[in-house]
Chain A
């Protein structure tokens, strides 16, 4: 059979499958518009609250407390409270990584670089006068302690607004407990007649929070959500559509009619794949266009990487869909299985909530999903403006999972042929 004929057959299968979605209002809603509908509803209604296991909050600490500073006209370098503070952070179960400087986001090894790549959730900068301030070492000419303020700076990742808020709350809680503890210890060192005075005037530490400059442009919440919705597109347009296509055709008998025509099973499969890809890309286009038109999102458009990421992610989604579609007894069963999988799955891909707020097992599950990798890669590329090499691990993961899941889907499809 000629290649031209096979291509013609693939095109016929793909076109017919595609028209099946375009001419079905329910299918249009669930396949193309549901992800958009969902993101708008979730975005406007969902609160940003939650408690985190501290170990999943990863803090980069820039401890400047050991640096020489001017103190009462003499230099002092015996600062130790900053180190104790860091140890206390670790004792409180935060995951702490030390950095020499905050630096710049394009300088490897700095805290700014790490936060801009999503390696850490926040950076805490401990000021150089931390020990001196907290232990009231500043004195006036008469030798009396002068309450002095030093600024702890907490820099959070703005691309993850929910995670940033949780991190901020957790760190604030820790700092206030720490200060209270040490404050009491230090105040006890003062003569009793001064303790009340010191307690009233001493407020040596102020924590300010700022957002890390992980992007060149100022971004809104929706800017971070839109790339995440591409994961939803894979689930709702890829997985959902693919899970119905073979099952529906088998139930209606059109699949059997294709099988008795002089058409290789691979041709039918490729036609279905082509149609599913077209639907995924169309849905992604609608989603991104809506983001631009409705929410004026401000993103970076690395089109080749976006297309590649969606393609590889779609292979996984279509593969899972094929498995469902081939093994389900009929159209209704396929639909039920697909919904049971799709609805909870979308909460595990990091599009709505950071995985760090989930229980460890749920987080591990979420991280194993190819859709999560797509969300991560797209957020890195579209909001953080990271180059392709920064998302290579995610792309490789997507490619591997895409090939494996599509192959399993193909095997399931072959099994279907034997069960007709």
Chain B
């Protein structure tokens, strides 16, 4: 059964004087889908999310969230949306609970319902009771990010716009936030995630739109996008000795497209290069095959094709340029 679309952007253009920030762009995000907008700074991702959230009006085109148009029913759309801005948008002089109470009241919550919802979200975002009593100015970056997300979830929105939610976080905090986003996905929230981090898009998104200069240059699931690139995943294994029979055995493993001997990076020893579409699946088989012949494995390296490679292939530039 075809899923309903929660966000429909139809032929939207946004001009700022002579600059076209978003150029005749159309996307649809299905209910419960986690949709990624990937692109370098200035690609038009933030402009697009600002238009979806009603902060900016499109120059042309239409945007619908749920069954409402942002141009015609902005208040209805705002009720459906939860927006997590890129920057930490909290009041430094309030504690987490007070910040959440403020945003909750803006969304029409009050009294016991508001209090209960705040408690739920503090638990969901794993903010401990002691910490939430301190002013936000004393929080770590990760804690602030979590409160920033909680503030967008108070009214239990159907659609979430997450604008670079993990920007500036260390790996530990980044993964903690990914867990929260995964949980939201499990709750069947429709999520539009803008990011310029390929690992984030690959890890979290069902589909990704790669944007550049206000246009979508590629759209699909991360695996579909990777397949579009004429590059291959390579496993490089350095054993203590290489024999033709070993190469043949490896070629016989399911999932291996090709195998050849090549110098290792330092060119002093030889390495076995294995070309495959499913490096994660066959890596254990390759290692065990080598070890079973009585050969020692000195090192293993996996070169995976990423969305970064996709972007470079399509634009000739890296995501961070």
From B80-88, B182-190, B230-238, the one touching the partner chain is: B80-88
* A257 touching B89 in the complex, CB below 8 Å, given contacts A1-B75, A16-B94, A19-B94: yes
Instruction: Tell me the chain A residues, 1-27 only, with Cβ under 8 Å from chain B.
Output: 1, 5, 8-9, 11-13, 15-16, 19-20, 23-24
Task: Answer whether residue A420 sits at the interface, using C-beta atoms and an 8 A cutoff.
Answer: yes
Let me know if A254 and B78 touch, CB within 8 A.
Answer: no
6 residue pairs from A and B, CB less than 8 Å apart: A8-B105, A20-B91, A253-B85, A257-B89, A259-B54, A260-B53
Cβ contacts under 8 Å, B93 to chain A? 19-20, 23-24
Q: Does chain B have a CB within 8 A of A414?
A: no
A residues in contact with B54, CB < 8 Å? 259-260
Which of A9, A19, A20, A253 is close to B106, meaning CB atoms less than 8 Å apart? A9
Q: How far is the CA of A1 from the CA of B110 in the complex (A)?
A: 15
Q: Are B94 and A261 in contact (CB under 8 A)?
A: no
Would A257 and B94 be within 8 Å (CB), given that A1-B75, A252-B89 are in contact?
no
**Chain A residues closer than 8 Å to B85, beta-carbon distance:** 253, 256-257
Give min CB distance, A270 to chain B, whole Å.
Answer: 13
**Is there contact, CB below 8 Å, between B91 and A260?**
no
Q: Which of A244-266 contact B (CB under 8 A)?
A: 252-254, 256-263
Taken residue by residue from 81 to 117, chain B's Cβ proximity to chain A (1 for < 8 Å, 0 otherwise) reads as 1010101011101100010011101111010000000
Contacts of A260 in B (CB 8 A): 53-55, 78, 81, 83
Q: Which of A11, A12, A16, A24 has the most CB of B within 10 A?
A: A16
Least CB distance, A32 to chain B, in whole angstroms: 16
In the assembled complex, how far is the CB of residue B76 from the closest CB belonging to chain A, in whole angstroms? Answer: 8
B300 at the interface (CB under 8 A from A): no
**Known interface pairs A257-B89, A261-B78. Does A16 touch B56 (Cβ–Cβ under 8 Å)?**
no
Give the chain A neighbours of B81 by CB distance below 8 A: 260
Please indicate the chain B residues that have their CB under 8 angstroms from the CB of A5 in the complex.
108
Number of interface residues of B (CB under 8 A): 27
Q: Which 3 A-B pairs have the closest CB atoms?
A: A12-B105, A262-B78, A23-B93
Q: Report if B264 contacts A (CB, 8 A).
A: no
Chain B neighbourhood of A11, CB < 8 A: 105
A16 to B56, CA, bound (A): 25
Name A residues whose Cβ lies closer than 8 Å to a Cβ of B: 1, 5, 8-9, 11-13, 15-16, 19-20, 23-24, 252-254, 256-263, 420
Interfacial chain A residues near B179, Cβ < 8 Å: none
Which residue on chain A has the smallest CB distance to residue B154? A261
Tell whether, in the assembled complex, residue A256 and residue B55 are in contact, meaning their CB atoms are under 8 Å apart: yes
Question: Is the beta-carbon distance between A261 and B103 smaller than 8 angstroms?
Answer: yes
Q: Which residues of chain B from 235 to 276 have a CB within 8 Å of any chain A CB?
A: none
User: B75: shortest Cβ distance to chain A, in Å?
Assistant: 5
Which of B75, B89, B90, B151 sits near A262, CB closer than 8 Å?
Answer: B75
B105 and A262 contact, CB distance less than 8 A: no
Task: Tell whether B129 is near chain A: CB-to-CB under 8 Å.
Answer: no
| Nearest B residue to A22, CB-CB | B93
Nearest chain B CB to A134 CB, angstrom units: 73
Chain B residues at the A interface, C-beta cutoff of 8 Å: 53-56, 75, 78-79, 81, 83, 85, 87, 89-91, 93-94, 98, 101-103, 105-108, 110, 135, 151
Q: Are B75 and A256 in contact (CB under 8 A)?
A: no
> In the bound complex, do residue B106 and residue A263 qualify as a contact, i.e. CB atoms below 8 Å apart?
yes
- Chain A: which residue is nearest B83 at the CB level? A260
Question: Is the Cβ of B107 less than 8 Å from the Cβ of A262?
Answer: yes
Q: How far is the CB of A14 from chain B (nearest CB, A)?
A: 11
Contact partner of B103 (CB less than 8 A), chosen from A1, A19, A257, A259, is A257
With A9-B105, A9-B106, A261-B107 already in contact, the answer to whether A253 and B87 are too (CB < 8 A) is yes
Q: Which residue of A lies closest to B137 (CB)?
A: A23
A9 CA to B110 CA, complexed, in Å: 10
Tell me if B106 and A258 are in contact (CB < 8 A): yes
Residues of chain B within 8 A of A15, CB atoms compared = 102
Report how far A13 CA is from B91 CA in the complex, Å. Answer: 12
Cα–Cα, bound, A258→B78 (Å)? 11
> Taking the nearest CB of chain B, how far is it from the CB of A418, in angstroms?
9
Q: Which residue of A lies closest to B107 (CB)?
A: A261
Question: How far apart sit A260 and B81, CA to CA, in the bound complex (Å)?
Answer: 9
B55 touching A259, Cβ below 8 Å: yes
* A256 contacts across to B, CB distance below 8 A: 55, 85, 89
Most buried by A among B94, B103, B105, B107: B105
Query: Closest Cβ of chain A: how far from B68's Cβ, in Å?
Result: 12
**B74 and chain A: residue at smallest CB distance:** A262
Write out the residue numbers on chain A whose beta carbons fall within 8 Å of the beta carbon of B94: 16, 19, 23
Within the complex, what minimum Cβ distance (angstroms) separates B81 from chain A?
Answer: 7
The smallest C-beta distance from B47 to any residue of chain A, in angstroms, reads 12
Complex CA distance for A16 and B94, rounded to whole angstroms: 8
- Nearest-neighbour CB distance to chain A for B178, whole angstroms, equals 23
Contact A261-B55, Cβ < 8 Å, known A1-B75, A256-B85, A256-B89: no
Task: Give CA–CA (A13, B89) in the complex, Å.
Answer: 15
A19–B81 Cα gap in the complex (Å)? 28
Question: What residues on B are CB-neighbors of A13 within 8 Å?
Answer: 106
Separation of A261 and B53 alpha carbons in the complex (Å): 9
Nearest residue (CB) in B for A418 is B57
In the assembly, what is the distance between CA of A8 and CA of B105, in Å?
A: 7
* Most chain B CB inside 10 Å of its own CB: which residue of A11, A257, A261, A420: A261
A357 CB to nearest B CB, Å: 43
Q: Kindly state the separation between the CA atoms of A8 and B79 in the bound complex, as whole angstroms.
A: 16
Which residues of A sit under 8 angstroms from B107, Cβ to Cβ? Answer: 261-262
Q: Distance in Å from the Cβ of A275 to the closest Cβ of chain B?
A: 13
Interface centre among B55, B56, B102, by most chain A C-beta atoms within 10 angstroms, is B102
- Cα–Cα, bound, A130→B153 (Å): 89
| Assembly CA distance A263 to B74 (angstroms) | 10
A361 CB to nearest B CB, Å: 41
Docked CA distance A256–B103 (Å) = 12
Given contacts A12-B106, A263-B106, contact A420 B55 (CB under 8 A): yes
Complex-state Cα separation, A258 to B87, whole angstroms: 14
Give A259 to B78 CA distance when docked, in angstroms: 9
| A8 contacts B102, C-beta separation under 8 Å | no
What are the residues of chain B within 8 A of A262 when measuring CB–CB?
75, 78-79, 106-108
CA distance A420 to B56 in the complex (A): 7
Collect the chain A residues with CB atoms within 8 Å of residue B87's CB.
Answer: 253
Q: CA A175 – CA B20 in complex, angstroms?
A: 79
* Across-interface contacts of A16 in B (CB, < 8 A): 91, 94, 102
| CB neighbours of A9 from chain B (8 A) | 105-106, 108
Contacts of A12 in B (CB 8 A): 101-102, 105-106
Query: How far, in angstroms, from A260 to B155 measured CA to CA in the complex?
Result: 13
Interface centre among B89, B98, B106, B110 (most CB of A within 10 A): B106
**For B89, what are the chain A residues with a Cβ–Cβ distance below 8 Å?**
252-254, 256-257
